[in-house]
Copies of this chain bind each other. A is one copy, B any other.
Amino acid sequence: MPKVGIRDVARLAGVSTGTVSRVLNDHPSVTDELRARVRSTIEELNYLPDPSARSMRSKVSRLIGIIIPDLTNPFFSELVQSAEQAAADHGYDIIVMTSLDNAVKEADRIGQLTSRKVDGIILVPSNDFHTIMPPKGLPIIVVDRLMPGYSGIAADHRNGVRLGVEHLLKLGHRRIGFISGPKDSVPANDRLMGYLGAMEQIHGDRQAASPSLIAEAAFDYESGRLAGNYLLARARNERPTAIFASSDQQAIGCMRAAHDLGIPVPAALSIMGFDGIPLSNMTTPRLTTVKQPIQKIAAVAVAILLNKQPVPDLDHPILLACEILDGETTSKPQPD
Contacts and interface: CB of A to CB of B under 8 A. Distances in A.
Interface of A: 48-53, 55-56, 61, 63, 70-72, 74, 77-78, 80-81, 84-85, 88, 93-98, 109, 111-112, 114-117, 221, 249, 252-253, 255-256, 259, 278-279, 281-284
Contacts of A88: 97, 109
Given A71-B84, A77-B71, A256-B284, A49 B115 contact: yes
A49 B117 CA distance: 11
Contacts of A111: 48
Contact of A94 (B61, B78, B96, B259): B96
Contact of A72 (B51, B77, B115, B255): B77
Given A96-B80, A96-B84, A98-B85, A115 B71 contact: no
Contact of A55 (B49, B52, B80, B249): B52
B95 A95 contact: yes
Contacts of A116: 51, 93
Oligomeric state, in number of copies?
2
B117 A52 contact: yes
B97 A84 contact: yes
21 contacts: A50-B115, A51-B117, A52-B56, A52-B117, A56-B56, A71-B71, A72-B77, A72-B78, A72-B81, A72-B278, A84-B98, A85-B98, A88-B97, A88-B109, A93-B116, A94-B95, A95-B96, A96-B96, A249-B282, A252-B282, A283-B283
Nearest to A252: B282
A114 B56 CA distance: 18
Contacts of A94: 95-97
What are the 10 A-B residue pairs with the smallest beta carbon separation, nearest first? A71-B81, A77-B77, A48-B115, A52-B56, A52-B55, A221-B282, A52-B52, A256-B284, A71-B77, A96-B96
A79 to B, nearest CB: 9
Contacts of A279: 279, 282
Nearest to A77: B77
A109 to B, nearest CB: 8
A98 to B, nearest CB: 6
Given A63-B95, A93-B112, A284-B284, 13 more contacts: A48-B115, A50-B56, A50-B115, A52-B55, A52-B56, A56-B56, A70-B81, A71-B78, A72-B81, A72-B278, A74-B74, A96-B96, A252-B282
A71 B85 CA distance: 11
A129 to B, nearest CB: 19
A300 B259 CA distance: 41
Contacts of A249: 282
